Structure 1
């Protein structure tokens, strides 16, 4: 997945008025990269915003993995409330993976994911254990959270943890629909992450994975002499959940292995044996070490299980499967071709807007460490772009942990502590608006939308849209978008509870009418504790008396979070009177 926003590097001193110490309390910032295949967590605290720590020391079944910077996104339900998770799941255990993707409606999954054996197995596993995707994610997040809080306490002290507020930043794929954020929020709540604490309410925000990766990358590069104001980069998040993620490489290899073994023999293997085979031979073997410089042929033994009883009698050795370099390349190439295509489009967009190509193409995410990917991107760059562009691939754990570290840097910068790297502008991926009525205009409106307003004594057109923000426009994190609205009340009305529905569409230009493909994003309910008779009074020509309530709705964007507020007489209305409920359709 390629970052579809250009982040500008700024080297500013944190402003004291934005420091976290207001009220005398400290804040622990926790960034959670809940991934399709692996998950990672990083943290810092308000006085050490530039010192980001990554959680390790996982509970493991195999001690060799205990100090990895991320842990598998895997669950094994043992009965009751007992589960194994992450590295503590034995390789031979019946387990579920890929369940993050089940948060999406099936219609929003790519075709190659819908039919994936891993998705089908994940659905079957959760059904067998009577768990919804949200519940399974909540179970995993609770395990992950408990482990991380324990590790943080061991590092900074229980006292600091107990008396610090928490600011949690969850990352999500940039391409995911908005309802997924609402479902993830529900899972986070079920996991107990937002539970009551003596230190105060836990703050939860969302950030897109590619943006988090970009922020971490810029933070890692801060202070370098070759980086200056105006430099442009393309940051490529090659993680596990995007349309070009490593999960599709995994799936392609499994399909090839099935074909070589013959589907019948693959079906003879138990789920535990399949897990062990993929883990040992692919994930920690071929996948990590394959490159274009070697003509090595890859082979490994298959288990006895794939043999019929009569074959076992005559066999003198374990059966073997072999892959040529060309065959392995066909596993990687479809995904890498998509990545290269996205990089090309991003570079072309930069060239068109700024008259120069980006200075660097930077690979992050788990798949971003792949040797073969690095080589293929370099070849594409030399052939189709410019030799002056450099492709960068950090070594070690940095590209793997970029997402969770970037989430922490993001929140820390917003609070005025730690890194001064900030994303100044984002490009909207959809149009957002509210349904309104407009004065009837026969040249613009349909007859079926016309209705008579007895209070205003005008023909109005219903089902019209007022768009806050158009797809492709810059979103400033410093300037929330506002629109004025009004509601009328008769003297007999007793309730001032108001509800506004917010809609979105990815069709451009967005429709003028509130009809498909316009979709409901969320509903804002405002319990306005206002005496109706105190509102401005109006009398129409028929002598009807009515009162008018004028107010503003504000939309503020930060990362993957879209926050709404109601403003009345210049004052933001409190959360006790305003509720925002996101659609999960």
Structure 2
């Protein structure tokens, strides 16, 4: 009665009421509500047909709904809430996500300001390049890692690095840039700082480039999507050694 009076004060009219819970299965309660607020029609029940619901709701009738097994409504609601994350199998990326890398210098592609001489590869290289792991609008599986391969390289005469810290970039731009320069739309999201002390030395391999030896560590960055954000991790031979989380804004 109270809610109906409140609505009436604002020029609105209640369309009906749904009886749920153990008390909601009472036929006596249903009949009392029908006598007070509606006519004596047979109790309507839930249906998946939009047309049937629309037909029952025509006019100004006050509908009293008494669904089957109303006493289980709370339990079923709790179960559905717990299963919600499992029911979502993919999500659409709203931004670009990438990693800053270094590439072989290409005058047709790279800015002159990013050009430098690499003593490890003995060639001109371009810093501040971006490889985009996730593109805006891309469908991403939920709770399943999307993996991307990278390498960390250093001079053969240098000591093995104690850590790596790939820079994760996020961009709201319509078209993702190929080079990283901080702007209002493109910025650093985080660094995936990872200690390498527990990585077996057998993964620190010797390789050759332009006839010169160097050492390298091949690793994988995994991206896992869940309901609250993105989880980045760094893996060597499928073992996670570092991880960081970025919540949705």
- Per the TM superposition, whether the score is higher than 0.5 is yes
Which position in structure 1 is the counterpart of 2:244? 580
What is the CA-CA distance between 1:548 and the residue it aligns to?
0.7
Match of 2:164 among 498, 505, 512: 498
Give per-residue Cα distances to partners, 1:489-534, cap 9 Å, x unaligned.
2332243311112221222222212222212323212212246686
Which position in structure 1 is the counterpart of 2:131? 466
Which position in structure 1 is the counterpart of 2:20? none
Q: Equivalent residue of 1:409, what SS?
A: helix
Q: Does the CA-based 8 Å contact 1:438-1:460 persist in structure 2? A: yes
In 2 relative to 1, CA 474–400 (structure 1 residues): closer, same or farther, beyond 3 Å?
farther
Please list every run of at least 4 consecutive aligned residues from structure 1 whose deviation after the TM superposition is greater than 3 angstroms: 398-407, 530-534, 538-543, 581-585
Q: Does the CA-based 8 Å contact 1:452-1:459 persist in structure 2? A: yes
Distance in 2 separating the partners of 1:403 and 1:519: 41
In 2 relative to 1, CA 447–583 (structure 1 residues): closer, same or farther, beyond 3 Å?
farther
Q: Does the CA-based 8 Å contact 1:523-1:581 persist in structure 2? A: no
In 2 relative to 1, CA 407–455 (structure 1 residues): closer, same or farther, beyond 3 Å?
farther
What is the CA-CA distance between 1:547 and the residue it aligns to?
0.6
- Is 1:524 matched up with 2:192? yes
Corresponding pairs, count: 192
What is the CA-CA distance between 1:451 and the residue it aligns to?
1.3
Distance in 2 separating the partners of 1:438 and 1:528: 23
**TM-score if structure 2 supplies the norm length?**
0.62
**TM-score if structure 1 supplies the norm length?**
0.28
Distance in 2 separating the partners of 1:404 and 1:449: 55
Q: Does the CA-based 8 Å contact 1:433-1:503 persist in structure 2? A: yes
Cα RMSD over matched residues? Answer: 3.9
- Is 1:514 matched up with 2:166? no
Q: Equivalent residue of 1:536, what SS?
A: strand
- Give 5+ residue unaligned stretches, structure 2: 13-49, 55-64
Which position in structure 1 is the counterpart of 2:216? 548
- Structure-to-structure mapping, 1:120-519, within 5 angstroms: 289-290=6-7, 296-297=8-9, 325=11, 406-410=80-84, 413=86, 422-477=87-142, 479-490=144-155, 491-515=157-181, 516=183, 517-519=185-187
Which position in structure 2 is the counterpart of 1:538? 207
Q: Does the CA-based 8 Å contact 1:434-1:502 persist in structure 2? A: yes
In 2 relative to 1, CA 500–540 (structure 1 residues): closer, same or farther, beyond 3 Å?
closer
Q: Does the CA-based 8 Å contact 1:487-1:550 persist in structure 2? A: yes
Name which one, 1 or 2, has greater alpha-carbon Rg: 2
In 2 relative to 1, CA 568–448 (structure 1 residues): closer, same or farther, beyond 3 Å?
same
Q: Does the CA-based 8 Å contact 2:229-2:245 persist in structure 1? A: no
Give per-residue Cα distances to partners, 1:125-174, cap 9 Å, x unaligned.
xxxxxxxxxxxxxxxxxxxxxxxxxxxxxxxxxxxxxxxxxxxxxxxxxx
In 2 relative to 1, CA 584–476 (structure 1 residues): closer, same or farther, beyond 3 Å?
closer
What is the CA-CA distance between 1:400 and the residue it aligns to?
11
Q: Does the CA-based 8 Å contact 2:229-2:246 persist in structure 1? A: no
Which position in structure 1 is the counterpart of 2:37? none
In 2 relative to 1, CA 400–572 (structure 1 residues): closer, same or farther, beyond 3 Å?
same
In 2 relative to 1, CA 447–406 (structure 1 residues): closer, same or farther, beyond 3 Å?
farther
Q: Equivalent residue of 2:106, what SS?
A: coil
- Give 5+ residue unaligned stretches, structure 1: 1-283, 291-295, 299-324, 329-386, 414-421
Give per-residue Cα distances to partners, 1:99-141, cap 9 Å, x unaligned.
xxxxxxxxxxxxxxxxxxxxxxxxxxxxxxxxxxxxxxxxxxx
Q: Equivalent residue of 2:83, what SS?
A: helix
What is the CA-CA distance between 1:539 and the residue it aligns to?
5.0
In 2 relative to 1, CA 406–512 (structure 1 residues): closer, same or farther, beyond 3 Å?
farther
